[in-house]
Amino acid sequence: MMRIIRTENLIKSFGRERVVDGISLDVYQGELFGFLGRNGAGKSTFINLITDIMKPDSGDVYLFEENFGIDAVKDRIGVLPDYSSFYDQLTGLKHLQFFSRLSGKPATKKRSLEVLEQVGLEEAARWKVGTYSFGMKKKLGVAQALIHDPELLILDEPTSGLDAESVIHMQKLVQELNREGKTIFMTSHNLPEVEKICSRIAIMKEGTIALEGSLKELQQQFQATFMVTIDTGTTLGEEDKARISRGLAEKKRGGAWEDGLLHVETASEDAIPLLVQQLVQLHVPIYGVSVEQPSLEDIFLHEPEQVSDDLYKT
């Protein structure tokens, strides 16, 4: 599959502080890639480096596997940069027409109005941007990234500063654009949002990629064991419970009872069907099976040092 974004050992320092510290990352065609990290982790700087806003101290950036530099592919990229602003005297509509011409793909008035409608700015199309609220400017930022119909969207916190309704609208728009075939690379502070919409995630810490993969892969990396809870109902007596526990012990498994719930720890996700099969053989009535998995929030909030080093890329 085509690597739409590829960075090799990207380094950027401000003074003595190394903000991006040797990041090598691949983003493939069609992915909706979520980029997470605490404030100051270097997410925005990384985006600035791959979009020509900043120049790396060393390392390489390849977009669309192109070796001729970013200028050759700027018309294929839509970027919502961090800390950017518009021309206060121009209307939203004029902005889109200006930016589309700049991209070399002039948009008609109809197309510009369509894009403004997509982001929920149709009513403010002819207002001067100086009168826009922060959230409206954010929407216009997304609109200008979309106006020339790019193949790759790089969005730095597209939902921050938006009201709840607009957040949901924006998330749906991002998902829809991804379904249409656009590759999307986005940062966010909203963990449930990333968990909900992104197909692959990277967590940045102190200038490096601490974790990378799909949510499932991150959960597997993060989680050493799986806690399976079997609901056996309320019919089992103490003798039955003891018999089942002995049966599990023979299969070299441990189990703990909590009323009618049996908690069993397994080493891998693959062992769960086997466990259920064993319980059926032991004539355990099964009313329900649940597997406790860490959320993205659990993974994000967990200090990387607390997880074994081999789980981390760097």
Partner 1 sequence: MWTICFREFRELMSGFRPLLIAAVLFVVSYYTAQAAELIPDGMGNLSQEEAYVAGMRAALYVFGYLFVFTLSHNVVNKELEARTIRFLVTKASRSAIIYGKTLGTFLFWALLLLLNTILISYTAGTFYLIDYLEFLVFIFYGVTAAVLLSILIPRSAYTMFFGVLAAFALPALSFWSMLSEEWYIAWVKFVTPYYYFQFDLFYMAVPFVIGLLFYSAADRLFQRRDV
Residues that bind partner 1 (CB under 8 A): 48, 51-55, 71, 74-75, 77, 79, 81, 83-87, 98-99, 101-103, 144, 148
Beta strand pairing call for 3-14 and 77-80: unpaired
Q: Which two tokens stand for residue 259?
A: 């009323």
- Look at strands 208-213 and 58-63 and give their pairing: unpaired
User: 98 or 132: whose CB is closer to partner 1?
Assistant: 98
In 3D space, the residue among 164, 179, 218, 175 whose CA is nearest the CA of residue 198 turns out to be 175
- DSSP result, 111-131: HHHHHHHHTT-GGGTTSBGGG
Closer to partner 1 at the Cβ: 54 or 289? 54
**Which DSSP category does 73 fall into?**
G
User: How far apart are the C-alpha atoms of 248 and 257, rounded to whole Å?
Assistant: 12
Please enumerate in sequence order all residues whose Cβ is within 8 A of that of 100, keeping only pairs 6 or more positions apart, or say none: 106, 107, 111, 112, 147, 148
What is the closest distance, in whole angstroms, from the C-beta atom of residue 142 to partner 1 in the complex? 12
Q: Which is nearer to partner 1, 51 or 171 (CB)?
A: 51
Give the residue with the Cβ less far from partner 1, 85 or 306.
85
Q: How far is the CB of 183 from partner 1 (least distance, A)?
A: 16
In terms of CB distance, is 98 or 185 closer to partner 1? 98
Shortest distance (Å) from residue 259 CB to partner 1: 59
**Residue 27 CB, nearest approach to partner 1 (Å):** 17
Nearer to partner 1, 14 or 287 (CB): 14
Half-sphere exposure of 253 (CA within 13 A, CB side): 25
Q: Please give the distance of CA 121 from its chain centroid, rounded to a whole number.
A: 25
Q: What's the closest the beta carbon of residue 254 comes to partner 1, in angstroms?
A: 56
Which is nearer to partner 1, 140 or 275 (by Cβ)?
140
Please give the structure tokens belonging to residue 142: 């997304």
143: number of Cβ within 10 Å = 26
In the complex, the smallest distance separating the C-beta of residue 131 from partner 1, rounded to whole angstroms, is 17
151 CB burial (10 A radius; 0-12, 13-18, 19+): middle
> How far apart are CB 83 and partner 1 at their closest, in Å?
6
Query: Which is nearer to partner 1, 62 or 226 (by Cβ)?
Result: 62
Q: What DSSP element (H or E) covers 185?
A: strand 183-187
Q: Whole-number minimum distance, CB 43 to partner 1, in Å? A: 16
